[in-house]
Amino acid sequence: MTRIVADISVSLDGFVTGPDPGPVGGLGTGGDALHTWAFSDDPEDRRVLSEATARSGAVVLGRHLFDLVDGPNGWNDTVGYGAREVGKPAFVVVTSSPPESVRLTDLDWTFVTTGLPDAVTAARGRAEAASADSGKDLDVVLMGGGATVGSALDAGLADVLTLHLAPVVLGSGTPLFTGAVPRTLVQRRVTPTSTATHLTYDVLR
């Protein structure tokens, strides 16, 4: 069964970027510490990342995040989706206006201009098709940024919430939860490592 998985790294004080994120430093001041786990050699970090990448049938991201990963300092042949795993699922971008060109032309991009629910629907279709082709269940991953993941949770679009809790206090930045709609979560997995605590919850609707 294809699940909709909201997956994001977050600080202890609830921020998904540090202060002053921008086109060059997309994670803001100190924000790189949020993703230390993704480049760690800790065996449990590697397992968490590998399993998540392998289960990704399609990925949803917002336009701001797309501009970062497709920008000159973004993904390359060594570092991409899944960090060093460099997975290549279908990517669905929520945007009010598609870009005129794409740098990462070897990836499968779809741009949806009619809102997040339609983007999730499009991604589900791609993930289900990939599941049929591969013979195994693949998920839709809501990669971010924070506004995309937060909006999906508020709208009841996510089945699963996975947080990679980094041992850092950023003080300010982009918060994950701002006036969020109350949701009941059921804790399914806690994996502590040397660089993060990986938390997985089912989202009840």
Query: In CATH, what number is assigned to the domain containing residue 100?
Result: 3.40.430.10
Closest to 81 measured CA to CA, from 63, 60, 111? 60
Number of structural domains found in the chain: 1
Decide if 99 is inside a domain: yes
137: exposed, middle or buried (Cβ count in 10 Å: 0-12, 13-18, 19+): middle
pLDDT in tens, 111-167: 999 999 999 999 999 999 999 999 999 999 999 889 999 999 999 999 999 999 999
Residue 164 has what pLDDT?
98
What pLDDT does residue 86 have?
79
Query: Is 106 in a helix, a strand, or coil?
Result: coil
Residue 129 covered by a domain = yes
**Amino acid type, 66:** F
pLDDT digits (tens, 9 = 90+) for 31-73: 999 999 999 999 999 999 999 999 999 999 999 999 999 999 8
Does residue 83 contact residue 155 with C-beta atoms inside 8 Å?
Answer: no
User: In the structure encoding, which two tokens stand for residue 142, read together?
Assistant: 């809501």
Q: How confident is the model at residue 174 (pLDDT cuts 50, 70, 90)?
A: very high
Q: Is residue 71 part of a domain?
A: yes
Does 19 fall in a domain? Answer: no
Q: Provide the pLDDT for residue 27.
A: 86
Tell whether 168 is covered by a domain. Answer: yes
Q: What is the pLDDT of residues 8-20, one digit of tens each?
A: 999 999 999 999 8
Kindly report, residue by residue over 87-118, the tens digit of the pLDDT: 899 999 999 999 999 999 999 999 999 999 99
Residue 16: phi and psi, rounded to 5, are: -105, -5
pLDDT score of 180: 76
- The boundaries of the domain holding residue 136 are 4-14+25-204
146 inside domain:
yes
Residue 93 has what pLDDT? 98
Angle at 18 between CA 61 and CA 198, to 5 degrees: 65
The tokens of 12 are what? 């202890």
Judge whether 19 and 148 are in contact, CB under 8 Å: no
Question: How does residue 179 score in pLDDT terms, banded at 50, 70 and 90?
Answer: confident
Structural domain contains residue 154: yes
How does DSSP classify residue 99?
-
Q: Are strands 90-94 and 160-166 parallel, antiparallel or unpaired?
A: unpaired
Whether residue 195 is contained in a domain is answered as: yes
User: DSSP code of 92?
Assistant: E
Q: What pLDDT score was predicted for residue 159?
A: 97
Pairing, β 108-112 against β 139-144: unpaired
